[in-house]
Amino acid sequence: MSPQPALVCSGAPRDLGLDQGLHFREAIRAEVERHLRGKGSGRLLSSLLGRDPEVTRSARDATRFFPHMAERAEGVARGARVSSADLAALLARECRGGWETLVGVRAGGAGPGVSIALSTDREAPIFVRRSQPENGYHSLEVGIPWRVPALAGVNQHGLAVGASGVVSSSASLSSCAAPAALLVQDCLQRFDAVDKALEWCERRPAGGSASILLADAGGALACVDLEGALRRVHREMDGILLGAGAPARVASVEKACRASERLDAEALRRILATSAGRVFVLDPADPERIFGDLP
């Protein structure tokens, strides 16, 4: 399915965010109102930045270790007319609670290739974004209006990146509380191949319990599991790499993948569709398209 129309965000980091914030102002403000106000208290979640140590540290560490992403978030906040603190708190809470399951698969067909697939049953609006930073690689991504980091994306050189997470313990956030999901956008903007992005994911401080999946047009496929400061790198075996997720769901997908006679991108879509509301597939060999259940 064609990703058009995609929201184009271009320029310096704040301009990239401003484009997104202006376009999705109503959706972002509604999300802030829905999630960031306590029942009957009238208190915005930004007030938690002074009361929740992990939320405070998340915002501080994100600014320290992902400065471009922090500037981009400021642009989103400005465009949507919400506070940067609200967006930071929203991302911190979401990433602490876990999110999508991602699956990497070596596709079949006429020649070698790889795909990354994202399955999600979340109710948040999902859109397609073209990020065109003035000093970085351009990419096509699946995103959520109030988030700077994409759920998954593929850049102009065919590097595809996505993240999945499970509920993060306080221990996994003790050394760094910047959400690991920020690594997705960093890698898309900076790197053209899996090995270069792997090194960044292994060394860059980030927190929580998550997996970063990477694939490139050369056929490389890898996964970095993060548990706080610990990093474990996995290369594909038998064509399958699974990201972090609910154990029963991950086991079910793995079993179905191994039982499939032909494990190409379309087969993967069908397998994931049985356990998720929406499925998206990114093909590094075709960085101009995202296949899946797009709006």
* Domain end residue (candidates: 67, 96, 125): 96
Give 57's DSSP letter. Answer: H
State whether 228 and 114 are in the same domain: yes
Count the domains in the chain: 2
In a domain, 2, yes or no: no
61 by Cβ neighbours in 10 Å (0-12 / 13-18 / 19+) ranks as buried
In a domain, 91, yes or no: yes
State whether 127 and 160 are in the same domain: yes
* Structure-model confidence comparison of residues 174 and 147, the more confident one: 147
* Domain end residue (candidates: 96, 119, 149): 96
| Residue 126: Cβ within 10 Å count | 19
- Could you give the angle at the alpha carbon of 245 between the alpha carbons of 3 and 274, nearest 5°? 60
Query: Which tokens is 132 given?
Result: 């065109």
Residues with Cβ within 8 Å of 100's Cβ and at least 6 positions away in sequence, in order, are 118, 119, 120, 122, 151, 162, 163, 164, 165, 245
State whether 110 and 220 are in the same domain: yes
CA-CA distance, 93 to 76, in Å (whole number)? 18
State whether 17 and 144 are in the same domain: no
In a domain, 109, yes or no: yes
pLDDT of residue 228: 85
In a domain, 185, yes or no: yes
For 32, the 3-state DSSP assignment is: helix
User: What CATH number does residue 105 fall under?
Assistant: 3.60.60.10
Q: At which residue do the structure tokens 């706080």 appear?
A: 228
State whether 155 and 21 are in the same domain: no
Residue 75 Cα to chain centre, angstroms: 19
* Domain end residue (candidates: 77, 96, 115): 96
| Residue 256 reports pLDDT greater than 50 | yes
In a domain, 128, yes or no: yes
State whether 119 and 227 are in the same domain: yes
CA-CA distance, 215 to 194, in Å (whole number)? 6
pLDDT in tens, 98-113: 666 777 776 554 445 6
Question: What is the three-state SS of 71-120?
Answer: HHHHHHHHHHCCCHHHHHHHHHHHHHCCCCEEEEEEECCCCCEEEEEEEE
Q: Which of 9-13, 214-218, 226-230 has the highest mean pLDDT?
A: 9-13
Query: Which tokens is 203 given?
Result: 């060394």
Give the Å distances, CA to CA, from 64 to 127, 167, 200, 204, 244. 28, 23, 16, 11, 26
In a domain, 19, yes or no: yes
| Residue 227 reports pLDDT greater than 70 | yes
State whether 67 and 105 are in the same domain: no
State whether 21 and 112 are in the same domain: no
Domain span at residue 67 reads 7-96
pLDDT of residue 84: 87
State whether 88 and 184 are in the same domain: no
Name 212's bridge partners.
163, 224
- Report the predicted TM-score, pTM, of the whole model to 2 decimal places: 0.87
State whether 157 and 233 are in the same domain: yes
Mean pLDDT over 70-84 rounds to 94
State whether 113 and 248 are in the same domain: yes
Q: In this structure, are residues 6 and 138 in contact, taking their beta carbons and an 8 Å threshold?
A: no
Q: Give the type of residue at 265.
A: A
In a domain, 1, yes or no: no
Phi, psi of 234 (to 5 degrees): -125, 135
State whether 109 and 248 are in the same domain: yes
pLDDT in tens, 3-19: 448 999 999 999 999 99
In a domain, 208, yes or no: yes
| Residue 294: Cβ within 10 Å count | 16
